[in-house]
Structure 1
Amino acid sequence: MYRIGFGIDFHQLVEGRKLVIGGVTIPHHKGALGHSDADVLLHAICDALLGALALGDIGIHFPNTDEQFKDIDSRILLEKSYELIKQKGYLVVNVDSSLCLEAPKIKKHGNEMRAVIASILEISQDDVSVKATTTEKMGFVGREEGLVAYATVLLVRQGV
């Protein structure tokens, strides 16, 4: 049996924070604001995983009101989300994701992001897609006030 999940996440960009996307720290003058490390891509993938099995969202499992998640590395959140998926008897088939940000350009970091995600989800790097686009200077993304990530995952029940 297959299940599909979709996730989306937004974070504000501010001075004085590091920018972490897909488990990779990217040099930039702004970083994402959040309770955790604010990794917009990994958060979207967490939501996609959880949504595929109707397990709620990242905020239910890792609330931003809980101090144990303050400044937590989102790779840990992805690991914990994947554990919930495996406990339900499912494995990841593939991940397709898109980032929406004006700057910095992330193409040169894409393979490293794919490797991080694939390692955590126990799949091949060839089964992880990370794409990026801009909003052509429109909206909060275009003004470099924030960034957005979208993710879709396909899960399969173990033994099928």
Structure 2
Amino acid sequence: MAYRIGSGIDFHQLVEGRDLWIGGILIPHTKGALGHSDADVLLHAICDALLGALALGDIGVHFPNTDEQYKDIDSKLLLKHCMELIQQKSYKVVNIDATLTLQAPKIKPFVPQMQETIAGICNVLVEDVSIKATTTEHMGFEGREEGLVAYATVLLQKV
């Protein structure tokens, strides 16, 4: 098969006293994402999309939250490992399309840096990484600023 598509989704609670990492970038905010790792919801969704495209399980299979070696780990390292698995199967990333759902903070100023970070790890051009954001108009847990969600779709090509 020449092409494979994968989709990923990730959720994290927002709490005080944690840093907010999104797309490999530290975002200034009064709350951060709660998780075993750095809880980077966007990178986790991309990892799941990559793994799913090749039926390699999900992020929890490869990086279980019961394993202390992943406690507070930088999610960029998780994404790098997922890319190594993709390359071992002789695939490359064609493009990534991602959407964040959160009420605050506004992430538009940080998107170019997120794109550069993700593109560098995934060996694609910056213009091959799309990152969008939306609010839920104050509805649901995202609208109440209790959590955030990331959705990601990736296209892989056999090399």
- The answer, yes or no, to whether TM exceeds 0.5 is yes
1:43-71 CA distance string (max 9 Å, x none): 00000000000000000000000000000
Match of 1:151 in 2: 152
Match of 1:78 in 2: 79
Q: Secondary structure at 2:57's aligned position in 1? A: coil
Match of 1:68 in 2: 69
**4+ residue runs over 6 A deviation:** none
Give 1:27's aligned amino acid: P
1:154 Cα offset (Å): 0.1
Please give the TM-score of this superposition, normalised by the length of structure 1. 0.98
1:81-129 CA distance string (max 9 Å, x none): 0100000010000000000000000000000000000000000001000
Match of 2:49 in 1: 48
Query: In angstroms, what is the RMSD of aligned CA positions?
Result: 0.2
Q: Secondary structure at 2:56's aligned position in 1? A: coil
Match of 1:135 in 2: 136
Give 2:27's aligned amino acid: I
The whole-number CA distance in structure 1 between the counterparts of 2:145 and 2:127 is 30
Give 2:123's aligned amino acid: E
Q: Secondary structure at 2:98's aligned position in 1? A: strand
Whether 1:14 and 2:15 are equivalent positions in the alignment is yes
1:15 Cα offset (Å): 0.2
Whether 1:37 and 2:38 are equivalent positions in the alignment is yes
Match of 1:114 in 2: 115
Match of 1:92 in 2: 93
1:18-76 CA distance string (max 9 Å, x none): 00000000000000000000000000000000000000000000000000000000000
5+ residue gaps, structure 1, are none
Give 2:43's aligned amino acid: L
5+ residue gaps, structure 2, are none
Q: Report sequence identity in percent.
A: 72
1:132 Cα offset (Å): 0.2
1:131-159 CA distance string (max 9 Å, x none): 0000000000000000000000000000x
1:11 Cα offset (Å): 0.1
